[in-house]
Amino acid sequence: MKLCHKTLCTAIAALLCIAMTGCAEESGEGLWVSIEPTDSAEFGEPRYEDGTYLTQDVREPAADPYADDTQKISDGQTEDGILYAVYERHAEITGHTDDFDAEFLTVPSELGGKPVSRIASVAVSEENKFSPDESGAFYGCYSLQSVTLPDTLTEIGEYAFYGCKNLRRAEIPESVTVIGARAFSMCRKLEELTVPAGIGTIGDSAFAQTPWYDSLLYHKDFVIFNGRLYDAGHRCTGNVTVPDYVVSIEDYAFYACTELKTVTVPASVQKIGKCAFCGCNSLSTVLIENPDCDICNEAATVCNHYANDAQEYRYNGTIRGEAGSTAEAYARAFGYRFSTDAPEPDETLPPETTAPPEETETTAAAES
């Protein structure tokens, strides 16, 4: 899911992965952020010429130990105005009072005698998405400048810190595996953030409109957390190879990358999400090396043209992969060109059209 601006079409731990391969001509900081490789062989030999070390293992996110603890016992309120709910084995922060005015907040690890495991999502639905419950979680708490969360926490809910316009720093413990949609969105001064190395889920636009995330987008080729590629940065153009430790390309990851020409998706990638390559006007070739890759079965997953009159997405380039692969099945399902040939860097743009190509046998047939 594109974390910054997916609303146009509808995540930093010590071991944060920001890959620097396959896009820009010059490399920046490399893989490590705030960690400088030593002169010794502590990290082994660099894998790439730019000095990037790929020593981080992709971690399996821990299961929520309280997923089945759904029987609420009581509600409570702290002296400084934090509202919470107590369950049989855990507690959740649910909101704040009107007079809550903490500037430097350390969220307690225990409330009502139970470990605090979750900051609940703010009540948002299709009916009230433009007028959410402003007393939910820490939504719109303008006083907040710094937040430290306890190591009992496993989940930060949707819109939990949305619109905290003076929040500058948030310390998220390694125990957190879920960060909900727009959890820190619109935090206009947020410049320091830690994201767990074992994060499992980061929701739509979780860090949108924050200086921290904007900096990543402008200075990095890819934004990757725990092996999941969430965003292609502004430098990601031309012929691109996704790093070979990436396990999934998330929804909208390359959305509207208009200068992207070719993409090689390595065999390590197990999943390509919704609209992953949507709106890539110059995209001529997508090579998918994993024959069993789970590809979102929608025409918009890979597309560079939208026919308003026919109201359908089209792709004028070529999908490449093994014969009998999911890549071939995907291409055939939508009448896209497919080939088993090894791709060559393509400097040409796909043809511009004003209407989707006719679905003829020639269009749908695999090129051999």
pLDDT at 266 over 50: yes
pLDDT for residue 356 is more than 70: no
Express each pLDDT in 242-255 by its tens digit: 988 888 999 999 99
Residues 6+ apart with CB under 8 A from 366: 323, 328, 331, 332, 338, 339, 340
Cα–Cα distance for residue pair 158/119, rounded to 1 Å: 9
Distance CA 183, CA 265 (A): 29
Any domain includes 156: yes
Alpha-carbon span 57 to 160, nearest angstrom: 29
Residue 111 counted as domain residue: yes
Evaluate if residue 155 carries a pLDDT over 90: yes
Asked if residue 103 is part of any domain, the answer here is yes
Q: Which two tokens stand for residue 262?
A: 């070719």
> What pLDDT, on the 0 to 100 scale, is given for residue 23?
41
Question: Which residues form the domain of 160?
Answer: 69-196
Domains: count for the chain: 1
Q: Report the pLDDT value the prediction gives residue 217, as an integer from 0 to 100.
A: 83
- So what's the pLDDT on residue 40? 36
Task: Tell me, yes or no, whether 100 lies in a domain.
Answer: yes
Where is 217: in which H helix or E strand? helix 211-219
What pLDDT is attached to residue 194? 82
pLDDT recorded at residue 15: 33
* Cβ contact 335:364 at 8 Å: yes
HSE, side-chain direction, 13 A CA sphere, residue 256: 10
Q: Tens of pLDDT along 56-115?
A: 467 778 899 999 999 999 999 999 999 999 999 999 999 999 999 999 999 999 999 999
The pLDDT of residue 354: 35
Query: CA–CA separation, 186 vs 194, rounded Å?
Result: 17
The amino acid present at 236, given as its one-letter code, is C
236 lies in some domain: no
pLDDT tens per residue across span 278-321? 999 999 999 999 999 999 999 999 998 876 665 689 999 999 99
Question: What's the pLDDT score for residue 12?
Answer: 34
Angstrom distance (rounded) from CA 206 to CA 220: 18
SS3 211: helix
In-domain check, residue 85: yes
pLDDT band at 366 (very low <50, low <70, confident <90, very high): very low
pLDDT tens-digit readout, 156-209: 999 999 999 999 999 999 999 999 999 999 999 999 988 888 888 999 889 999
Nearest of 249, 212, 211, 210 to residue 231 by alpha carbon: 249
Residue 164 lies in a domain: yes
Chain-centroid distance of CA 314 in Å reads: 24
φ/ψ of residue 286, rounded to 5: -125, 110
More confidently predicted of 33 and 48: 48
Classify residue 342 as exposed, middle or buried by CB count within 10 Å of its CB (0-12, 13-18, 19+). exposed
Mean pLDDT of all residues in the chain? 79
Query: What would the pLDDT profile of 42-57 be if each residue is shown by its tens digit?
Result: 444 544 444 433 444 6
Is 39's pLDDT higher than 60? no
DSSP structural state of residue 88? S
CATH code of the domain containing 85? 3.80.10.10
User: Residue 5 forms beta bridges with which residues?
Assistant: none
Q: Is 266 domain-assigned? A: no
Contacts of 281 (CB under 8 A, 6+ apart): 258, 304, 305, 349, 350
Residues contacting residue 52 through CB under 8 Å, at least 6 positions apart: 19, 20, 21, 27, 30, 31, 46
Handedness of CA 134, 163, 120, 100 (dihedral sign): negative
